[in-house]
Amino acid sequence: MISMLSVLSSTLIMQLLTGPPTSSATSQDLPAALRPSSREEAILVGSGDIADCDSQGDEATAVLVERVLAASDNAVAFTAGDNVYPDGSPDQYRRCYEPTWGRFKSRTLPAVGNHDARTPNSAGMRGTFAGRFSQTGPLWYAADVKGLDADGHPVQWRVVVLDSNCDKVDCTAKGAQYAWLKEELRQQKAAKQRCTVAIAHHPRFTSGPHGDEKQMIPLWRLLDDGAVDLVVSGHDHTYERFPALDADGKVAAKSGIASIVAGLGGKSRYPIVSARQHSMTLRNDRDGVLVLRLGTDGWTSALLSTNDEVIDLARGRCR
């Protein structure tokens, strides 16, 4: 099943993502636990809260992403929003994002964050990823990531990217994004799509200082009803992993959605005060990127830190 994106088709998205490795790195440059079994393995790698001209953190995390992209031709980068600080302006994208994470923007699925949206119409993000978005259309879309799993079996995951700036877009059941997502999930079910990951900047659940994003509840319920397997967010500059939870934060092993806050993209790191209920892992000691190795019925996740530490190696199953 291939559904049309808000702006352009999944087919075109994958044409943009396809290309040679971004550096001369090889799979041997990655820790053994994250090393692809072949150059065709399907992988997602990325983070949120990334670039700032006053920080060098994004330079280090960009190298991590490039190493993963170089290890598999089917690896795809993503951003979880707040791609450049402080305001996501065209000039800030040009000076601060382009020299680092911009090196592999043709292989990136970007999400918008609140700092990106400080510039009217998120113009900096739209200009940087011209061809992926129109100049006025929505910033939510979906794409396929294809390849092989670690055992050589064909894999196709659906990636749903949302705009969680609910102060600027309607995140309720009456909004255009909700209607689009409902139809997207309906088509996925009709096509018997097995595994889906959503990316949205604001986390429904987090131990960080921003706190749980309650305005995401309607979209979370819809994602849960549509059997989405995993949600990746940023916003809080930490790394945190949660088990499958329903929209009210209750453990729901046979339903619910697992989630990961991946906000250590390089801007800064937030202090940790305490972990909220159901938090499984909470880290802030080093910048890093989330690596998702995609399988036919599940995924392996880990935080790859800038000192090459593999943190929180975990597995999840698709519903």
> Binning pLDDT at 50, 70 and 90, where does residue 265 land?
very high
Q: What domains can be seen in the chain, in order of their start residue?
A: 10-317 (3.60.21.10)
Mean pLDDT (the chain) is 92
- 181 has pLDDT over 70: yes
State the average pLDDT over residues 248-265. Answer: 94
More confident residue, 14 or 278: 278
Beta strands in the chain (DSSP E): 43-47, 75-79, 108-109, 141-148, 154-161, 195-199, 230-233, 239-245, 257-262, 281-283, 288-294, 298-305, 310-317
Average pLDDT over residues 24-47: 87
Quick one: average pLDDT of 238-245?
98
As to burial, measured by CB atoms within 10 angstroms (0-12 exposed, 13-18 middle, 19+ buried), residue 76 is buried
pLDDT confidence bin for 6, thresholds 50/70/90: very low
Alpha-carbon distance of 34 to 37, in angstroms, equals: 9
Whether residue 22 is predicted with pLDDT greater than 70 in this model: the reply is no
Q: Decide if pLDDT at 12 tops 50.
A: no
The percentage of the chain sitting over the pLDDT mark of 90, rounded to a whole number, equals 88
User: Which pLDDT score, from 0 to 100, does residue 25 have?
Assistant: 54
- Give residue 252's pLDDT: 83
pLDDT at 1 over 80: no
